[in-house]
Every structure is written in structure tokens, then in C-alpha cells.
Structure 1
Amino acid sequence: MIKTKRINQIKEYVFEHESVSLEELVDYFGVSKNTIRRDVQALVDAGILNKVYGGVTVNHSVLIGFSERRDQNLSKKQEIGRLAAQFVEDGDIIFVDSGTTTLELLPYIQNKQVTVISNNFDFIHQSTAHPSLTIFSTGGMLERKTNSFVGFQSVDFLKKFNINKAFLASTGVTVTNGVTNSSPLETDVKSTVVEKSSEVYLMIDDSKFDKYGITTFCSLSDIDYLITNSVPNENYKQYAAENGITIVTP
């Protein structure tokens, strides 16, 4: 493979997964670790990627746009939204996280009598067409790369609420690193929501397993329901059984 072509493919691969290990790149591209290191360094020097321990992550300043991410794995996200919505009941006070997967909850809960607290700008905006939903925005600074509200104002706001069910998104999940995110600005919001919620529902498609972002916002054991589009491997099934996590799949 021509070097320039491979470097571009590495960039596209990391942008799709947001954070990957060097070993994963070696396996995927079938080249030596030294070659991967050199190619990755070229992308780091160009400001496209950031080095993290054992791998690389997308430079937050060039994080792939929200609209582009929404189009990725859309059918999977819609299925996850449908599965998650079955847990939403009239009278619930729920939190809807930032992200493109959680946005897919809306079509399935739009006629329910629910109070929604959210930092997801697109969810808030699209909810205005559905009067049965009572909407609270966390406020704070709008993080344009993720279309989410972040900052201490959001955290302080959330501390005042008692949330029945939180529906969260993630850049990636591993047993060792827990539930992770690629935007450090969102981490405090997500961590606060986990602390304040009676039940935590993690909505991730199958591309997020064994991937990790730059920050961890909770342990995988903090999750009550793991909602995904296909059954995860035995490692996750065993962990879920040992930690009381319900895995929900089609």
C-alpha cells in the first residue's frame, strides 16, 4: 500500500472510531508497529491526531462534525433508540445525553408524558414540536463539535434534579477503561448524571466495544442497562452477569 494512501486510511479509521490502540492499527492494516508509529506520528505532527497511552485519538479541535457522525451507523442507532424507548414510561424524569445515538430516542417517545432534562441541543430543538414532552435544558456553553451544552453551569444545574432514568452515549467502552468519551468538556456533565440517576442506560452500537476515548466518565459497573444492536462478546456478557448489568439487544 502506498504510504500516503495508508496514512489517509489511518486518519479515516481513527476518525470513525475516535480512539484506537496501536495494536489495533497494526492488525487492521497488516503492517509493522514501527510503520504504524511513523504514519501516526505524521498525523500527530499535522495536528490531526493526539497521542494517548498505547494509541491515538482524534484531535478534539478537528473532531468529526455532528452531522457526519449522525449519518454513521444510522440504522443501528435507530434500532438502539427503539430498544431504549421501551423503558421510558409516562411520568418519568429522564436525562438524554449528547450524541447522535441518544437523538434517536425522540421518534419513539415523542407522544409520551415525560420530563426530559438534556444537554443535547438537537434533541432539545426537535422536541419543541412535541407538547407532551416537558423539556429542561442544562444550559452552559454550546460545544459546537458535539452540539451539546457543557461547563460548570450545566453541572450545577444537574445537581438540583432527581433523575429516574439517564440515557447516555459513549465514544467507546472497555472493561478496563470503563465508559469513555472523546470530548473532555462533556465528562463532568456525564459523570454528574450517573451520580444523580436511579437507573443508567448506555446506548452504544457495536462499533464502540473495545474502543476508548480520552476520558472515562464512569465505570462499566455503574451502568444498569447496556443497549446495543448486537450481542457483545463473552467478555462483556460475563462482566455484565457479574455486575448486574442487563444487556438489551434486538
Structure 2
Amino acid sequence: MLAQRRYELIMQTLRAEGPVSVTVLGTRLGVSQATIRRDLAWLEEQGLLTRVRGGAAASPSLEPSFAAVATEAHRAKDAIARRAAGMVEDGDVLLLDIGTTVHRLAVHLRGRKVTVMTANMAVYEELLPDPDIELILLGGVVRRNYKSLVGFLTEDAVRQLRAGKLFMGTSGVRADGAVVDTTVVEVPVRRAMIAAADQVILLADAEKFPGTGFASVCGPDALDVVVTDADEGTEALGALRENGVKVVLV
């Protein structure tokens, strides 16, 4: 395998999974640990990763920050969030996923008498001053760059809960209606949230069709509602409807 190809595969793995050991990288790429160490040393010189004990982690600056992502399609995201807020009734118990569109939903929930459970630190910061909202912040490992909490502590916390509605974001929706993500560490938490909710509502702007991502979160059968500004002719919308998902066009 050419060195350039190894570099690409190493960076893909680190971005998707977080810190990874030299042993794991060597096994996946089919090369010696000595080769992996030389590759990591070169990538570190380029400022692409940080060496950690026994392995490496991608430089945090490589992942778009929450603030940067929030500026993308912000008008569409706000319109979707406003429509989704109209689906919330006083007294509802809500799970709010990570992501910038879900954060915009939180903005439109201020002043409502609801319970919000979340691993989204931006949502927590938004709703903290609001005395009308019962706010529950889930524990976990902090992903500072994206203002989220992840890991087994977050998953375990979600498993103790039950919500009437989950509002979920995504990196992409494939033509067959499958929901995917670019960050593997977020997937287990999302799956736990889906299992903990009576109704799953996906918030996805047009750019998420197909968007990006390779890690499977769920199939269309796990969704109840999708709120989007995607064009009516988008192939994935047909697949979603065929699976019984209600599509709300904004």
C-alpha cells in the first residue's frame, strides 16, 4: 500500500473513531507497527494529528467547530426548527440530540413548560437561564469542539430514561432513507436515544440529502417524522414515505 493511501486511511480512522492505537491501525492497514509509527510521525509533523500513549488522535482543529457548522444553511435550519417546535406540547418530555439544527429548536422552546434531556451542551447553555424548562444534562466525555457529550456514561444515562419525543440531527440521509453519521463515537448515543423515545423526529435540511457519513445510525423504519426543506422530488423522501415515515416539508 502506498504511503499516501495509508495516510488517508489513518486520518479517516482517527476522525471517525477518536484516538486509535498503533496496534489497531497496523492490523487494519495490514502493515507493521514500525511502519505505522513512521506514518504517525510524518502526519504529526504536518500538524494533522497528536500522538497519545500507544497511538494517535486527529487534531481537534480538523473537525469543523460547532460555531462553524451553525453558520451553514442557518435560515433553513431555523425554519425547520420553528416547525418542529410547533410539534411540542406543554408537559412534553423531550430528548434533544446533538447538532446545530436541534440547537435552533431549543431556541424556539424557551418559555415552554417542558422537560428537556440532552447531551448537547449548546442546548444546555441555551436553556439554562429558562426557569420554565426542567433541564437534564446527561453525563459523559466532553467533545469540546462540537459541544457534545459521548461515551458509555452518556449511553448508560440515556438507558435510564424515557422520552415522549426525540428530536435528532444527522450528517446524511441516503437514497434508501438510511440515516448516517460522520462520527462513530456519536452513533451509540443516538441509537440509545432512539430506543428511549416513543416518537423519533429527524430534523434534516436539504444539504443532508445525501449529506455525508459512513457510520449507520438507523434505517427509515426507526423514524416517525422527518422535518426538512428538501425538494419534493428528492429520492430519499419517497423511501421514507414507503417506510411509513411522515415527511413534513418546510
The reply to whether residue 175 of structure 1 matches residue 172 of structure 2 is no
Which residue number in structure 2 is paired with residue 248 of structure 1? 248
Which residue number in structure 2 is paired with residue 164 of structure 1? 164
Specify every segment of 5 or more residues in structure 1 that has no aligned partner in the other structure, as ranges.
1-17, 20-44, 49-58
Which residue number in structure 2 is paired with residue 188 of structure 1? 188
Which residue number in structure 1 is paired with residue 131 of structure 2? 131
Is contact 1:83–1:249 with CA below 8 Å preserved after alignment?
Answer: no
Once the two structures are superposed, residues 40-71 of structure 1 have per-residue CA deviations (whole angstroms, 9 ceiling, x without a partner) of xxxxx8787xxxxxxxxxx7841111101101
Which residue number in structure 1 is paired with residue 112 of structure 2? 112
Is contact 1:60–1:183 with CA below 8 Å preserved after alignment?
Answer: no
Once the two structures are superposed, residues 201-249 of structure 1 have per-residue CA deviations (whole angstroms, 9 ceiling, x without a partner) of 1001100102331311111221111111233435223212221111112
Give the distance between the partners of 1:47 and 1:197, measured in 2 at CA.
Answer: 41
Change (3 A) 1:60 1:103: farther
Is contact 2:176–2:236 with CA below 8 Å preserved after alignment?
Answer: no
Is contact 1:85–1:105 with CA below 8 Å preserved after alignment?
Answer: yes
Once the two structures are superposed, residues 20-50 of structure 1 have per-residue CA deviations (whole angstroms, 9 ceiling, x without a partner) of xxxxxxxxxxxxxxxxxxxxxxxxx8787xx
Which residue number in structure 1 is paired with residue 142 of structure 2? 142
Bigger drift between 225-234 and 162-171 goes to 225-234
Give the distance between the partners of 1:175 and 1:189, measured in 2 at CA.
Answer: 24
TM-score (norm 1): 0.74
Greater Rg by CA: 2
SS of 1:240's equivalent? Answer: helix
Give the distance between the partners of 2:59 and 2:165, measured in 1 at CA.
Answer: 29
Which residue number in structure 2 is paired with residue 224 of structure 1? 224
Is contact 1:66–1:147 with CA below 8 Å preserved after alignment?
Answer: yes
Letter in 2 for 1:149: L
Is contact 1:177–1:212 with CA below 8 Å preserved after alignment?
Answer: no
Is contact 2:241–2:247 with CA below 8 Å preserved after alignment?
Answer: no
Give the distance between the partners of 1:208 and 1:234, measured in 2 at CA.
Answer: 11
Give the distance between the partners of 2:79 and 2:199, measured in 1 at CA.
Answer: 21
The reply to whether residue 153 of structure 1 matches residue 153 of structure 2 is yes
Give the distance between the partners of 1:60 and 1:245, measured in 2 at CA.
Answer: 38
The reply to whether residue 207 of structure 1 matches residue 207 of structure 2 is yes
Give the distance between the partners of 1:156 and 1:76, measured in 2 at CA.
Answer: 33
Runs of 4+ that moved beyond 4 A: 45-48
Change (3 A) 1:244 1:186: same
Give the distance between the partners of 1:140 and 1:151, measured in 2 at CA.
Answer: 6
Q: CA deviation at 1:180?
A: 1.1
The reply to whether residue 90 of structure 1 matches residue 90 of structure 2 is yes
Give the distance between the partners of 1:249 and 1:202, measured in 2 at CA.
Answer: 12
SS of 1:101's equivalent? Answer: helix
Give the distance between the partners of 1:221 and 1:177, measured in 2 at CA.
Answer: 9
Give the distance between the partners of 1:151 and 1:218, measured in 2 at CA.
Answer: 18
Work out the percentage of aligned pairs sharing the same amino acid: 25
Task: Report which structure shows greater RCO (CA 8 Å, sep ≥6).
Answer: 1
Alpha-carbon RMSD: 2.3
Is contact 1:151–1:189 with CA below 8 Å preserved after alignment?
Answer: yes
